[in-house]
Chain A
Amino acid sequence: MPPVLDIRNLSKQFSTFTAVDDISFQIEEGSFFSILGPSGCGKTTLLRMIAGFLAPSSGTIAIRGRDMASVPPNRRPVNLVFQNLALFPMMNVRDNIAFGLKRQGLTSSEIRKKVEAMLERVHLAGYGTKDISQLSGGQKQRVAIARSLVLEPSLLLLDEPLGALDLKLREQMKIELKKLQADVGTTFMYITHDQSEALVMSDRVAVMNHGRFEQIDSPANLYRNPASRFVAGFVGETNALPVRLTSNEPLTVQTEFGLEMEAVAGGELDGKLELFIRPEAIILNPAEELKHINRFRLKVRNILFDGSNTKFLAGIEGIEAELELTVALPQNEQFAHIRQGDVISAGVHRDSCRCYRRGES
């Protein structure tokens, strides 16, 4: 059985600017696939090509094995949830959801049955006769998704649909969307610049930059084993230190302020290098007997209290550099006594120090 979406060597050129640069990938049936990238990386262009609103400059898009080159948007088995939702304000909730079904020429009793079932599914039962303007942000969101989902598309495209919601609601909708996807089993392709959205919801995430995919992987792998410097810096919080190579076997690097550290390579190493350390990888008061630990002493400069997500900013003791490390505090309150100005011994395991070539991007 062919994959739901099969994209080969897809490119899109806007006069001199290449928005999408020779991308190939597949999406498997029933998965939640995200494309994560900063704004302007070409992810929306890619999405609009799949939906049919833009013609590719080269390459092919096949959905369930069928080439989409000559198929207009209204005949493609994909549906798009727009960034601004694009609900029809002159229709009520029911007519919005029924819009696509009417175009398919279903009988009115079938339409009513499907719409009611879909309203139930997105927890909006009884809202059918409400006007769009009467709904809250989260409810509009669900209507927009229901409107597309009711057509049972092969692939549902979502273009940052949570962007307009406030933080609390966004957290809630993230979980709801993931549950909904598992529930209906439709393949979702989700576009976002918010790494937390991509990591929480997806089965697989493609990290996109400058029109190319840097890495396609599971969220956990993306976080633990970033394939490139861009992925390491973009996905999750991290400390980046400029370093230079001192020894290859074992791999040892030296920071600008003279600290020698053992590290692992995250790709080919030459020229200027950069070392990435996650805030939670820094161990406070590491036991003496642990091996392969890069040890240093930290001077606490600022405490960033944020409940379970509390961190502190620290400099290396004895070094007057601007450099600051972000360190996550363990949640067990073991270090709740730390105050500004404290000096504390710290260490990072060799495997948590990932070294990348310092590129332009």
Chain B
Amino acid sequence: MMKQHLRLGLLIFLTPVLLWLVLLIVVPHIELLLMSLRGRDDFGEDIWTFYHYRTFFTEEIYWYTFARTAVYAVTVTLFTFLVTFPVAFYITKVVSPRFSGFLTILLLMPFWVSELVRVYGWMILLRESGVINHLLVSIGIINTPIEMLYNDVTMLMGLVYTSMLFMVVPLISSLEGMDDSMIEAAHDLGASPATIFFTIIIPYAAPGITSGAIVVFMLALGNYLTPTLMGGKNSLWFTEQIYNEFIASFNWNQGAAFGFLLLLLSSMLIWTGLKISRQELGRALS
């Protein structure tokens, strides 16, 4: 009797999750997978083919875009870490506990606004007729406005900015758990500040760094909005490629193949990253 109740309860609570997973993730992906493997032969007949996957490797522009996207996503992850780590360290270890909560909220506040609005905010600041150019010209540092948008550096900056939250939260939570006396103990045992940083603080925060890095990497890799709005004509992002196949070329089969390649290659990159840093996925995400 009791067992049946439990099973019923489990079913009720699990159903929405299962429906979500199956209907919105599994089913569409199976559909996409099948679509990516369909093609037409010379006679216009529908056949099973790897043609769309082959295209990715034979057409230089595709895998070049992908490599570029991957390298930039890694760069974004790295920069996000470099920017947020001092912030997280300051909030958890330097400032008094009374202010750390306030500072955390201050840090999270911009993320209550949608990404689109935040990116437009940057555009208002950076564009040729924007705030910064206006200031620089009126002070007299430059004579004619400079176009600061639509290049790789600006795009990277935008991506770092939109990803910051997802790095800083796991970093704060992992550094918060660290006992200050551990730093003092290392200092007492003869370690210099640099040694303490690399042998105590970084290894201690490693699970937080890993989970933050995974999330930021995935988000940067799959980001569409920021590269489209802030990147130039030449800063092509792989998601744009997929979008083009689906919407512009109306080649759903090719787009589906690209989608799957993105999923596969990004998973491989994360797996390699975990192997190199000797971290475990389960531990990093727990």
Contacts and interface: CB of A to CB of B under 8 A. Distances in A.
Nearest to A82: B181
A148 B204 CA distance: 21
B167 to A, nearest CB: 20
A73 B187 contact: yes
Contacts of B192: 74, 103
A87 B191 CA distance: 14
A90 B179 contact: no
Interface in B95-154: none
A51 interface: yes
* Majority-rule SS of B interface residues: helix
A296 interface: no
B267 interface: no
Query: Most chain-A Cβ atoms within 10 A of its Cβ — which of B181, B200, B203?
Result: B181
Interface residues of A, number: 25
Interface string A81-108: 0111011111100000001100110000
Contacts of B189: 74, 79, 99-100, 103, 147-148, 151
B181 A103 contact: no
A25 interface: no
Most B Cβ at <10 Å: residue of A75, A80, A104, A147: A80
B190 A103 contact: yes
A53 interface: yes
Interface string B179-216: 10110111111111001000110011010000000000
Interface string A201-227: 000000000000000000000000000
A103 B188 contact: no
Contacts of A83: 181
Give the interface residue-count category, chain B.
10 to 19
Contacts of A80: 184-185, 188
A254 to B, nearest CB: 52
B179 A86 contact: yes
Contacts of A75: 190
Contact of B187 (A74, A84, A89): A74
Contacts of B191: 74, 99, 103
A342 B243 CA distance: 98
Nearest to B178: A89
A68 to B, nearest CB: 13
Contacts of B188: 51-53, 73-74, 79-80, 148
Contact of A88 (B182, B187, B195): B182
A72 B186 CA distance: 13
A26 to B, nearest CB: 22
B186 A99 contact: yes
A90 B195 contact: no
A100 B190 contact: yes
A86 B200 contact: no
Contacts of A99: 186, 189, 191, 199
B231 to A, nearest CB: 39
Nearest to B193: A74
Interface of A: 51-53, 72-75, 79-80, 82-84, 86-91, 99-100, 103-104, 147-148, 151
21 contacts: A73-B187, A73-B188, A74-B187, A74-B192, A79-B188, A80-B184, A80-B185, A80-B188, A82-B184, A82-B185, A83-B181, A84-B179, A88-B186, A88-B200, A90-B203, A90-B204, A90-B206, A99-B191, A103-B189, A103-B192, A151-B189
**Among all A-B residue pairs, the 8 with the closest Cβ atoms:** A100-B189, A103-B190, A86-B185, A86-B181, A90-B203, A74-B190, A86-B182, A82-B181
Given A53-B184, A90-B203, 4 more contacts: A52-B188, A73-B187, A75-B190, A90-B206
